[in-house]
Structure 1
Amino acid sequence: MTKKQKIFADEYLIDLNATRAYKVAYPNVKNDVTAAAAASRLLRNVKVQEYIAQRMAEKESKRVADQDEVLRYLTSVLRGESRAQEIVVEGTGEGCSEARTMEKAPSEKERLKAAELLGKRYALFTDKVDMDTDMDLNITIDYGEADTG
């Protein structure tokens, strides 16, 4: 992949406008019709397609939490290591109040919920069911109508 193709692909990823991206990568092209046609050809280039797909996957993986990240977060809540911003309103006298932001550790309820979710993930909790029944078991097998022929 050439340097200009990489510039084109990076610019294309900004707003998915291939014509604009082409004109940035190839500034000597001024005509929109020419730039659009050339950009369309570039978007069909296998190396450019692979590069764009790779960059899109990187962006997506940064946006979406994976399993390890969720487990690390739940563990930090369970251990009381995470911090949350909370707005507190305090009276300042004469009927006036002031809001300020403070950091707080997870509450006992939040820590318990994190423990519950982690426990479910690792199947730590199993419901034991002890069932004592008195019933008859009847099994009927239907082979369909007999073919007498």
Structure 2
Amino acid sequence: MTKLSVKQQKFADLYIETGNATQSAIDAGYAKKSARSVGSENLTKPDIKEYIDKHMTEMADKRIMSAQDALELLTKIAKGEEKETVIVSSPEGIYESKKEADLKTRIAAVKEILKRYPAENPLTQAQIRKIEAEADIREAQAAEAKNMTDSSSEVMIVDDIPED
């Protein structure tokens, strides 16, 4: 790639930022009358095109999550380090709260991480079974507590129990 002139580089940088060839040409210092044709022509010049493509690719690479980034996020979720924002409404008003992922989400994160490691470790499998069992117990407890609160308004009166 040959070196771009100052004007060409300014045009290319502005075009990367705005996507508008005509306005980029004007802002780079080209004549307003010829900005449209110069902008269009600049986009066909191999050196300018290569410069723009290279920088656009770099920008796209920065926006896309890498496999390492994904594993780090999954690890934070699995460890309960990643918090999510929850909007809570109460009689006093609405407020935001941060909470860690529930057990099912954390288990799913652990499973996703383990998919990337081919060797199945018996200890890890036992730990996953334990966590899943704990999650099932907590769900059952929550359901039972909900049923108790739902049926707490019902009262059973027992009288006149026959004695033998």
Q: What's the TM-score, normalizing by structure 1?
A: 0.71
User: Which residue of 1 is the match for residue 64 of structure 2?
Assistant: 64
1:119, distance to aligned residue in structure 2 (A): 1.3
CA RMSD of aligned residues (A): 1.8
Pick aligned residue for 2:109 from 98, 108, 114:
114
1:124, distance to aligned residue in structure 2 (A): 4.8
SS of residue matched to 2:91: strand
SS of residue matched to 2:23: helix
Q: In 1, Cα distance between the equivalents of 2:98 and 2:119?
A: 32
User: Which residue of 2 is the match for residue 37 of structure 1?
Assistant: 37
User: Which residue of 2 is the match for residue 103 of structure 1?
Assistant: 98
Q: Deviations over 1:106-149 (max 9, x none)?
A: 221111110011111223559xxxxxxxxxxxxxxxxxxxxxxx
Amino acid at match of 1:44: T
1:56, distance to aligned residue in structure 2 (A): 0.8
Q: Deviations over 1:17-70 (max 9, x none)?
A: 21111111115x121xx2222222221222211211111112211222121111
Please identify which structure carries the higher helix content.
2
Structure 2 runs not aligned, ≥5 long: 122-164
User: Which residue of 1 is the match for residue 21 of structure 2?
Assistant: 18
Cα separation, partners in 2 of 1:30 and 1:20, compared to 1, 3 Å = same
1:99, distance to aligned residue in structure 2 (A): 1.3
Q: What's the TM-score, normalizing by structure 2?
A: 0.65
Q: In 2, Cα distance between the equivalents of 1:102 and 1:84?
A: 8
User: Which residue of 1 is the match for residue 6 of structure 2?
Assistant: 3
1:49 and 2:44 are equivalent in the alignment: no
Structure 1 runs not aligned, ≥5 long: 93-97, 127-149
Greater RCO structure (CA 8 Å; 6+ sep): 1
SS of residue matched to 2:77: helix
Q: In 2, Cα distance between the equivalents of 1:44 and 1:56?
A: 16
Q: In 2, Cα distance between the equivalents of 1:22 and 1:83?
A: 45
Amino acid at match of 1:76: K
Q: In 1, Cα distance between the equivalents of 2:108 and 2:16?
A: 40
Q: Deviations over 1:59-106 (max 9, x none)?
A: 2112221211111100111111111111112233xxxxx211011112
* Residue identity (%): 30
